[in-house]
Structure 1
Amino acid sequence: MDFKPCVNIRKEWDIVGARQLGREQAKEVGFGTVDQARIATAISELARNIYLYAGKGKICFEVINEFDHKGLKISAIDQGPGIRDLNQVMQDGYSTSGGLGAGLPGVKRLMDHFEITTEVDEGTQIHTIKWLR
């Protein structure tokens, strides 16, 4: 079984740790600096959401090799309150924190694959993949 490095998100500083590990992982996979920045931005958004809305959770990384395709899978997992209105959260410009509202739609644009499952009072799991071009 492959080891999947994870960063626990409990305090604001953990967002930086997740970003740094993600950037290192992206560099190891072979992503250029522009895609490394995109990946780091997506990680920041996912980790910040865990910190702000769930209180705690984790960001996990997995290098993917399939069909001559190499990529980086990033999973954000929490046992927070879940997302009550997923359609609203996935709209551009929507923000509950007073931020820019790039949020999850921004993550979806930055990555090549985006999948979210959420259950109220159970938590949220977001799985994203960036493929190496």
Structure 2
Amino acid sequence: MEIQSCVKIINEWDIVAARQLGRNVAKELGFGVVDQARITTAISELARNIYLYAGQGQVCIEKIYDGAKAGLRIVASDSGPGISDIRQVMEDGYSTSGGLGAGLPGVKRLMDEFNIESSSGNGTKIITTKWIR
């Protein structure tokens, strides 16, 4: 069974709230400190992207189970302008905000599974999963 909690992303404090939720759920599931940090970093990046580029959206955290395996799924979604060139934003070093450009490629590296759906004018949905080792 999947248990889901969501945080609406409207302002910068919501990024902090989403990070905290993710860390708490990761801790409850039994993730180690290093994986908790990876999950928290991924959530921070996804929530910040929603805030910067879409204005608002939500980050949902789900506990997921596959047989004996347990994990955490993050679903970040917005109805912002969308991403016109997904391949470009998935390149290391690409940045539109003047940041380090670790962005979405960084999220993909931190997590075990990563899927992005987006089109111009229709918002973005990113689903990423981390399994307990």
Equivalent residue for 2:54?
Answer: 54
Equivalent residue for 2:98?
Answer: 98
Task: List 4+ stretches of structure 1 deviating above 3 A.
Answer: none
Give the match's secondary structure for 1:4.
Answer: strand
Residue 81 of structure 2 aligns with an amino acid whose one-letter code is P
Residue 74 of structure 1 aligns with an amino acid whose one-letter code is I
**CA distance in 2: counterparts of 1:80 and 1:3, whole angstroms:** 26
Note the residue ranges of structure 2 that are not aligned, 5 or more in a row: none
Tell me by how many angstroms 1:66 deviates. 1.0
Equivalent residue for 2:112?
Answer: 112
**CA distance in 1: counterparts of 2:2 and 2:65, whole angstroms:** 12
Tell me by how many angstroms 1:25 deviates. 0.4
Equivalent residue for 2:87?
Answer: 87
Tell me by how many angstroms 1:4 deviates. 1.4
- What's the CA shift string for 1:66-109, capped at 9, x where partnerless? 12110000000100000011111000000000001000000000
Residue 10 of structure 1 aligns with an amino acid whose one-letter code is I
**CA distance in 2: counterparts of 1:99 and 1:39, whole angstroms:** 20
Query: Residues 32 and 3 from structure 1, CA distance in 2 versus in 1: closer, same or farther, beyond 3 angstroms?
Result: closer
- What's the CA shift string for 1:20-67, capped at 9, x where partnerless? 000000000100110000000000000000000000000001101112
Note the residue ranges of structure 1 that are not aligned, 5 or more in a row: none
Tell me by how many angstroms 1:3 deviates. 4.5
TM-score w.r.t. structure 2 length?
Answer: 0.97
Within-5 A mapping of 1:5-44: 5-44=5-44
Give the match's secondary structure for 2:4.
Answer: coil
TM-score w.r.t. structure 1 length?
Answer: 0.97
The count of aligned residue pairs is 133
Decide whether the 8 Å contact of 2:82 with 2:119 is kept in 1: yes
User: Once superposed, what is the RMSD of the aligned Cα atoms?
Assistant: 1.0
Decide whether the 8 Å contact of 2:2 with 2:63 is kept in 1: no
